[in-house]
Structure 1
Amino acid sequence: MDFAAQVAVLVTPGAWAYHEALPEEQQVDLEAAAAVLGSDPRLVAAYLLDVVAAHARSQAASAPAALKRMRVEGEIEIERFAPGSSLAADADAWAALAGGLRAGVAAEKRRAARAMSRSVPVEVAW
């Protein structure tokens, strides 16, 4: 499986589709990100998730409030609700996934570091 496909699987289909729908100048350059962050696709996926989450949050925040009109007993009631709430929820989920990916990489590095450190008995004569 090539690197881009690995990243696409790690970020989930929704985040990948959101990323692909962004203008090209706002999309993550996977090769450049790998050169800076390392060749672990989890780190590149986490970065991509951060980018799409930030974009989704800004879109949700700038969306105008929606109105819902209802007629109850002859009177009109107006209810306002945030239309970007599902987009904000997606952004939160993507940010959480990014944190989980980074935590997995960090835990793996700690395990590898512990495995490399060895204790050797040393005799000390006084």
Structure 2
Amino acid sequence: MVKKRFTAIGDFGRGKVMYKSVRAMTTANNLPTERMINMAATRMNPVTKLNLKVVTATNSAGHEVIATRSYNVNPELTDDDVLALGQKLGDLQDFPVHAIDRQDSADLAE
């Protein structure tokens, strides 16, 4: 049985990330061996959410109560585009905007 630990060595755009194995432990002799294995990870099914956090109330302790409104947006939008969209959506809210967040997620495969 071989246990591998991988470290990202660079992002090459379009969801391709190059990894190298740092160390592989074999159970046969239980000695660490160094190996270089290059493989490209591919992003599949990317999803990007714009999270708009608004202040809906103040509790009895005086802390703000924050609600999050989530919107699915195009993953290819730049950060500036997502921020501008969040600001426009914030203008339409009845409550003051506390923060605008971008959340990216994707499945990874070799």
Asked if these proteins are the same fold (TM beyond 0.5), I'd say no
The structure with the greater share of residues assigned to helix is 1
Bin of the TM-score, shorter chain as denominator length: under 0.3
Larger proportion of strand = 2
- TM-score, with structure 2 as normaliser: 0.27
Give the structure-1-normalised TM-score: 0.25
